[in-house]
Amino acid sequence: MLDSKKLRKETELVIQNLSRRGFNFDFKKWENLELQRKELQAFNENQQSKLNDISKEIGLAKKESNDTSKLQKEASMLTAEIKNQTKQLDQLLMQINEFVMSLPNLIDTDVPDGKDETENLEIRKCGSPKEFDFTPKDHLELGENRGIDMEAGVKITGSRFKVLRNDIAHLQRALLNLMIDTHVSEHGYEEVYVPYIVNEDSLLGTGQLPKFEEDLFKLEGKNNFYLTSTAEVPVTNLFRDEILDSEILPVKYVCHTPCFRSEAGSYGKDTRGIMRLHQFEKVELVQAVESSDSDDALEELTGHAEAILRKLDLPYRVVSLCSGDIGFSSAKTYDLEVWVPSQSSYREISSCSNFRDFQARRMKARWRSKQDKRTELINTLNGSGLALSRTVLAILENFQEADGSITVPDALRDYLGKDRILST
């Protein structure tokens, strides 16, 4: 959520910034609503103040057994009036809230301009794609009948679900442990475990709602529960309605969860194998920092995700998402893209974003310094460190041998207990 004071004072800047996303900000509408709100609210509060005074007077008069019928009559009228105004005000507030909640975050000045993912800016490349002296297979050719069981997923649930077996299930678990261990012991994150079902408030807090409900799986029942689409939601919401002491900042959490995404609107995209599924595992990094630290924190967090790719000797590149591709809540996003030999291209395996105070304002997540007692919104960041299914995919494809076996990357050997898998 954007700061309404900023909307008022730096209107031009906001309009310009949002237009870089291709977002058309209807300032006239907002200004109109705000003006009405301000007037009505000021008047209403004034009336309320009067009523409060009269009520106190009545109280005092009754104590001394004086006649209060005249005052009560006056108060009755005021009460009716206020009730009426409040109804109008509430309606207005709902409209304003709806409007403001659907505004995306402002993007940083160094976010490249562009209309879609084709115009994302490559920042750096690390490692180089391995040359194969045979035609590399794709991950499904490698894993089919040997641990990646798409048919079983379809039988149990439906399309876009998978079953993993044996070495490949083990590989995923080994990766999971490597990632969490690394982030905890080398990068200073605290491990957390959270619910996989989240409520509406949590989704509003991080920005998945109200605009992106079609991406989510909603549960039946009156509770308005959803399956979590990313650990970002439950983990970042740990800060909701909290005031953190400045000494504990930055707070850094690492968390593994499955992620459930309806993938509505992605029909026909990545239909083969485990690239894009309704359920996948992910290790997520989340940070809460002071606003002055969030630029550095994004670089740091991105580096933490990269460290995993480096450990695994996977070739990747870092791109800065352009203004047309960047997410709704994000001010700046780096995607990490891993080399996928079968597609001869880099594919997203992590997305690291700085949300500045956008989520914090929605969640009322603040911090307070010891010296001056003022509260300030925290800045939140998160990034995948990494998406597990795609890491499994990348390892299978990048470390395949001519005979279809997979050489296990050094960093993983202790976790897996072998240096080669799928050697039939």
Partner RNA sequence: GGAGAGGUGGCUGAGUGGUUGAAAGCGCUCCCCUGCUAAGGGAGUAUAGGGUAAUCCCCUAUCGAGGGUUCGAAUCCCUCCCUCUCCGCCA
356 counts as catalytic: no
Using the contact rule CB under 7 A, the part of the chain among 21-29, 119-127, 330-338, 363-371 near RNA is: 363-371
Find the Cα–Cα–Cα–Cα dihedral 42, 48, 52, 55, rounded to 10°. Answer: 150
Say whether residue 66 binds RNA (CB under 7 A): no
Of 78 and 238, nearer to RNA (C-beta) is 78
> Of residues 240, 368, 413, 420, which one binds RNA by CB under 7 A?
368
**One residue of 15, 40, 58, 197 binding RNA per CB under 7 A:** 58
Which residue do the tokens 């409209």 mark? 95
* By CB under 7 A, residue 75 contacts RNA: yes
The yes or no reply on residue 364 touching RNA (CB under 7 A) is: yes
Closer residue to RNA, CB minimum distance, 66 or 266: 66
Which of 173, 276, 368, 413 does the annotation list as catalytic? 276
Q: How far from 131 is each of 91, 128, 336, 341, 344, CA to CA, in Å?
A: 63, 9, 21, 9, 11
Is 37 among the catalytic positions?
no
# residues near RNA by CB under 7 A: 35
Residue 244 contacts residue 368 (beta carbons within 8 Å): yes
Q: How far is the CB of 38 from RNA (least distance, A)?
A: 5
Nearest approach, Cβ of 73 to RNA (angstroms)?
A: 8
Integer angstrom CA distances of residue 77 from 41, 72, 81, 144, 339: 19, 9, 6, 77, 72
Q: Pick from 257, 254, 282, 286: which is nearest to 190 by CA?
A: 254
Of 219, 206, 246, which Cα lies nearest the Cα of 381?
206
Catalytic residue check, 276: yes
The CB-of-233 to RNA minimum distance in angstroms stands at: 18
Given the rule CB under 7 A, which of 75-83, 166-174, 332-340, 407-415 is the region that contacts RNA?
A: 75-83
Is position 72 an interface residue for RNA (rule: CB under 7 A)?
Answer: yes
CA distance 130 to 340: 10
- Residues 135/124/230/107 CA torsion (nearest 10 deg): -140
CA angle 390, 299, 360 (to 5 degrees): 90
By CB under 7 A, is residue 94 in contact with RNA?
no
Answer yes or no whether residue 76 interacts with RNA by CB under 7 A: yes
- Min. distance of Cβ 35 from RNA in angstroms? 10
Q: In sequence order, what E strands does 230-344 have?
A: 243-245, 251-260, 279-289, 316-320, 332-340
Instruction: Collect all residues with Cβ–Cβ distance below 8 Å to 354 and sequence separation of at least 6.
Output: 108, 294, 295, 297, 298, 330, 331, 332, 333, 379, 381
The three state secondary structure string of 143-207 is HECCCEEHHHHHHHCCCCCCEECHHHHHHHHHHHHHHHHHHHHCCCCEEECCCCEEEHHHHHHHC
Q: State yes or no: residue 279 binds RNA (CB under 7 A).
A: no
* Binding of residue 54 to RNA (CB under 7 A): yes
Q: Does 337 qualify as catalytic in the annotation?
A: no
Residue 62 binding RNA, by CB under 7 A = yes
Q: Which of residues 21-50 bind RNA (CB under 7 A)?
A: 38, 41-42, 45-46, 48-49
* Catalytic residue (one of 213, 348, 376, 401): 348
Which CB atom, from 119 or from 201, has the smaller least distance to RNA?
201
| 135, 373, 403, 424: which one binds RNA (CB under 7 A) | 373
Asked about 310 being catalytic, the answer comes back as no
Residue from 13, 94, 123, 243 binding RNA (CB under 7 A)? 243
Active site residues: 261, 276, 348, 351, 390
Q: Which residues bind RNA (CB under 7 A)?
A: 4-5, 38, 41-42, 45-46, 48-49, 51-56, 58-60, 62-63, 72, 75-76, 78-79, 222-223, 243, 364, 366, 368, 372-375
